[in-house]
Structure formats: C-alpha cells, structure tokens
Amino acid sequence: MRIVLVGPPGAGKGTQAKIIAGRLAIPAISTGDIFRANVGAGTPLGLEAKGYMDKGLLVPDSITIGMVRDRLADPDVAGGFLLDGFPRNVAQAEELESILVGLGTKLDVVLELVVDNDEVVKRIAGRRLCRNDSTHIFHVDFQQPKVPGVCDVCGGELYQRDDDKEETVRERLAVYERETAPIVGFYAEHGLLSTIDAMGSLDEVTERALAALADR
C-alpha cells in the first residue's frame, strides 16, 4: 500500500507513521530521514542541500523532490511505503504524482490527521526537554516528572524549546494552513483522502487509521 500522511504539527504524524508502517510491513519515509541520509552519505543532492542549510536558507523544492524520487526508486519500497512530511504543497503533490507514474504505480490513500488547534498548542507547548539529553522528554500535563523541572532519568534541568512556545506553535499552524492544508483539497478532488480524528489516545488514533486503510 502506498500512503501519504498529512496533518498539522502536533497531530502525531511521526509516531503514527512508524506504527502504521510497522503494522503494514512497509517503510515509513520521512523527509527528515531522507535529508539526513543524503547529507550523511555526501550524495550530490545532500551536499547541495547542506549548502542551503548551512546558510540558514530553505532547501529548494527541486532538491527535496530529487531526494524523494531517488528514495522511492529503492528496492525496499516496491511493496509500498508511507510518506510523512512530503508533499508539503500542491506543487510537490503534483511532482509526487509524476514520480509515481514514472515508476508505474500510484498512491492508494492520503490519511489526514485532524486535531483541534488548541489541542495542538497544548500538546507542543507543554513539552519539556532535558538539557543533558533531548531524548528525555516530559510534559506538564501528560508525562510529568517526579520533581518539577527535573529530569527523572539523569537529574538534568528541564526546559521549553523556543519552537515549542505558544506563539511559535500558533505561527507554525498558520504556516501549515497557508502552505500545506491546500493539498488536502487536492487529494480530496482525486478521491484519495481519508480523514482521521487524531484526538484521543495513541491506540485509538492508530485503530481509526487502520480501519480507514482497510476500507480502501
């Protein structure tokens, strides 16, 4: 099965992508993973992308699309894939369609994770990371540390990233609505869209997504 996963920041795309892909035995492919692989391997596209990133500039669509094209040509995606983080706009959606035509295949479904903006703000703005190890993550509501402001694992100080502050989260949501949300209409017109309520527990959202896939 060939799936695209879309939704606003804080909707749980990364987590759901791994779970759903695992259940379906297909690779979960994120643009972040693709970028890291290309930059780490020093591929021509990776070096080109690094040049932009080192200058604090956005990587052009042409480079991102090239990396996605190369990744989708790999043998492990012959039986399907789940794309997370691509496409981000209608132009990229059209390019993805072209890439898949060139590979002799097409998308099966686009899963849209839908979550209330206030819930997104609550999820992201409540996160606290350990200064010693950013993989130690807590939450002021959902996963409180035993001692306020102190990491349970190593005793490090917990802090809120600037990107997680409410005003920043709301700006990210505005950017999503402006740039990425239009692809929802694009895929709805193509009859590929399945909308998933992303409110509730992790398992509940996963089961809703799998049920939607079973209907395809």
* CATH code (residue 200): 3.40.50.300
Contact 67, 45 (CB under 8 A): yes
> Among the options 13, 71, 128, 208, which is catalytic?
13
- 193 lies in some domain: yes
User: Annotated catalytic, 127?
Assistant: yes
Catalytic residue among 2, 71, 123, 127: 127
**Residue range 16-61, pLDDT digits in tens:** 999 999 999 999 999 888 988 999 999 999 999 988 888 888 788 8
Instruction: Share the mean pLDDT of the chain.
Output: 92
* Under 8 Å between Cβ of 27 and 71: no
What is the domain range of residue 97?
A: 2-115+179-214
Task: Provide the CA 152 distance to its chain's centre, in angstroms.
Answer: 28
CA–CA distance, 125 with 128 (Å, rounded to integer): 8
Is residue 161 in a domain? no
Angle at 161 (CA atoms; ends 159, 167), nearest 5 degrees: 120
Q: Please indicate whether residue 161 is annotated as part of the active site.
A: yes
- Of 23, 131, 161, 178, the catalytic one is 161
In a domain, 166, yes or no: no
In this structure, what token pair is assigned to residue 12?
A: 């749980």
Among residues 2, 71, 172, 208, which one is catalytic?
172
Q: Give CA–CA dist 157/50, Å, rounded.
A: 32
Beta bridge partners of 187: none
- Alpha-carbon dihedral 30, 58, 126, 207, rounded to 10 degrees: -20
Has residue 207 got a pLDDT over 90?
Answer: yes
pLDDT for the residue numbered 54: 85
Residue at 165 is within a domain:
no
Which DSSP letter does residue 163 get?
G
pLDDT in tens, 113-157: 999 999 999 999 999 999 999 889 999 988 999 999 999 999 999
Could you tell me the end-to-end alpha-carbon distance of the chain, in angstroms, rounded to an integer?
10
CB 120 within 8 Å of CB 8: yes
Would residue 88 show up in a list of annotated catalytic residues for this protein? yes
Please, which residues have CB within 8 angstroms of residue 42's CB and are 6 or more apart in sequence? none
Does some domain include residue 124? no
Specify if 153 maps to a domain: no
**Under DSSP, is residue 109 helix (H, G, I), strand (E, B) or coil?**
strand
Q: Is 200 a member of any domain?
A: yes
Looking at the DSSP assignment, which residues form a beta bridge with residue 159?
129
Which listed residue (50, 88, 122, 170) is catalytic?
A: 88
- For the chain, what is the domain count? 1
| 29 within some domain | yes
Strand partners, 137: 129
Is pLDDT of 216 > 80? no
pLDDT at 180: 83
